[in-house]
């Protein structure tokens, strides 16, 4: 199979996976369904943004994009300055789900492929992505099951893969200015090519597919288990304050957001990750010795869950 055919195979999987994830998420809703919105990028490429607003998922997005151009954006070439002027292909699926019920955690997934085409050189490719969970009121059994699936995703590829990508997630989904983790992590990987583990293109692609399917396996049971739990206005308000941390991370640190904006992608699709309702309070802190305080004091600490 030539290289162009491999790229086409990845794109076909991503489009199919977008549909699969949307159908899985719709099972939680009595009647709400994703609305699909196709878009084109003037500089080259486009995508398909699927958005859901329902009784269980207050705001959910599953976005496919495939963009290309003459100059790799700074967020993608930062650690590869030699590729700064290379043309590029970038494709992926990203999803952020913000449930209405504060007992159902927010979840994020991204799986992507970058290809750079330096002048007079062979294409340089790498995969990236991962998934992470952001609870508001954490149930330890959910944290354990989340990481059990993350570990099972990695096990066929070697016993050191999960510890490496779990640690990377702990380090990446972190707000230095708050000195706290965004959630309980999961998996994060980037720069996945032959030089990382010695895997060829096909094996790296197989890992990407495992990550995508693992997200569905890990997250949908948590939604189903927690979506009908009763909650109070106070708990909903706490969720809004914690969502503020999510916004801060995505707008200040998230590589995908930065790449999308720098590559002149579609702003509405890039910012679909932001929650619909959010709060900030001056010097706001949860009351000590409460379930709200336990989140930061115990749950949002990097630890081995499995």
Strand partners, 108: 96, 132
Give the Cα separation of 133 and 185 in Å (integer).
6
Structural domains counted in the chain: 1
DSSP-derived secondary structure letter, 295: I
Residue 74 confidence class, pLDDT cut points 50, 70, 90 = low
Contact partners, residue 197, CB within 8 Å, separation at least 6: 157, 158, 161
Tell me: pLDDT of 75 over 70: no
Is position 178 within any domain?
yes
- What pTM was computed for the model? 0.93
Are residues 45 and 35 in contact, defined by beta-carbon separation less than 8 angstroms? Answer: no
Mean pLDDT on 264-283: 86
- The confidence score (pLDDT) of residue 232 equals 97
Residue from 27, 108, 234, 289 carrying the catalytic annotation: 108
Q: Per the annotation, does 35 bind a ligand? A: no
Decide which of 290 and 261 is more confident: 290
Instruction: Please state, as a whole number, how many other Cβ atoms lie within 10 Å of the Cβ of residue 27.
Output: 10
CA–chain centroid gap for 105, Å, is 13
Decide which of 130 and 287 is more confident: 130
Mean pLDDT on 203-220: 98
Mean pLDDT on 131-141: 94
Residue 70 confidence class, pLDDT cut points 50, 70, 90 = confident
CA dihedral angle for residue 18, residue 113, residue 66, residue 35, rounded to 10 degrees: 20
Q: CATH no. for residue 45?
A: 3.40.1500.10
Least confident of 59-63, 160-164, 274-278: 274-278
Mean pLDDT on 194-221: 97
| Active-site residue flag, 66 | no
> Quick one: what percent of the chain has pLDDT higher than 70?
97
- The confidence score (pLDDT) of residue 154 equals 98
Is position 109 within any domain?
yes
Is position 30 within any domain?
yes
Q: Per the annotation, does 181 bind a ligand? A: no
Mean pLDDT on 166-192: 95
Residue 78 confidence class, pLDDT cut points 50, 70, 90 = low
Is position 190 within any domain?
yes
Q: Mean pLDDT score of the chain, rounded to an integer?
A: 92
Tell me: pLDDT of 120 over 80: no
Is position 306 within any domain?
no
- The confidence score (pLDDT) of residue 262 equals 82
Is position 163 within any domain?
yes
Q: The domain containing residue 20 runs over which residues? A: 3-299
Q: Per the annotation, does 87 bind a ligand? A: no
Least confident of 68-72, 110-114, 164-168, 275-279: 68-72
Count Cβ neighbours within 10 Å for each residue of 109-126 and write b for 16 or more, e otherwise.
bbbbbbbbbbeeeebbbb
Is position 305 within any domain?
no
- The confidence score (pLDDT) of residue 76 equals 64
Residue 255 confidence class, pLDDT cut points 50, 70, 90 = confident
- The confidence score (pLDDT) of residue 236 equals 97
Are residues 36 and 48 in contact, defined by beta-carbon separation less than 8 angstroms? Answer: yes
Is position 304 within any domain?
no
Three-state secondary-structure class, residue 36: strand
- The confidence score (pLDDT) of residue 12 equals 98
Q: Per the annotation, does 273 bind a ligand? A: no
Three-state secondary-structure class, residue 65: strand
How far separated are the first and last CA of the chain, in Å rounded?
Answer: 39
């Amino acid at each position: 199979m030539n290289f162009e055919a491999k790229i086409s195979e990845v794109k076909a999987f991503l489009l199919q996976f977008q549909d699969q994830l949307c159908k899985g998420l719709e099972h939680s809703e009595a009647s709400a369904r994703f609305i699909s919105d196709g878009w084109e990028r003037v500089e080259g490429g486009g995508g398909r943004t699927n958005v859901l607003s329902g009784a269980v998922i207050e705001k959910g997005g599953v976005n496919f994009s495939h963009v290309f151009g003459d100059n790799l954006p700074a967020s993608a070439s930062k650690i590869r300055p030699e590729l700064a002027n290379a043309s590029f292909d970038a494709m992926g699926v990203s999803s952020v789900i913000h449930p209405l019920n504060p007992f159902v955690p927010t979840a994020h997934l991204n799986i992507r492929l970058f290809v750079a085409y330096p002048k007079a050189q062979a294409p340089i490719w790498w995969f990236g992505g991962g998934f992470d969970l952001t609870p508001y009121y954490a149930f330890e059994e959910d944290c354990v099951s989340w990481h059990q699936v993350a570990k099972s995703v990695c096990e066929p590829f070697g016993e050191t893969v999960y510890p490496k990508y779990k640690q990377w997630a702990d380090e990446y989904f972190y707000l230095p200015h708050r000195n706290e983790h965004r959630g309980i992590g999961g998996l994060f990987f980037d720069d996945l090519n032959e030089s990382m583990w010695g895997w060829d293109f096909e094996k790296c692609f197989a890992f990407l597919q495992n990550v995508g399917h693992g997200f569905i396996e890990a997250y949908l049971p948590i939604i189903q288990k927690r979506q009908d739990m009763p909650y109070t206005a106070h708990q909903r308000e706490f969720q809004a304050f914690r969502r503020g941390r999510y916004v801060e991370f995505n707008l200040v640190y998230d590589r995908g957001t930065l790449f999308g904006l720098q590559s002149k992608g579609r702003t509405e699709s890039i910012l679909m990750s932001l929650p619909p309702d959010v709060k900030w309070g001056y010097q706001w802190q949860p009351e000590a010795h409460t379930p709200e305080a336990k989140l930061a004091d115990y749950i949002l600490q990097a630890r081995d869950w499995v």
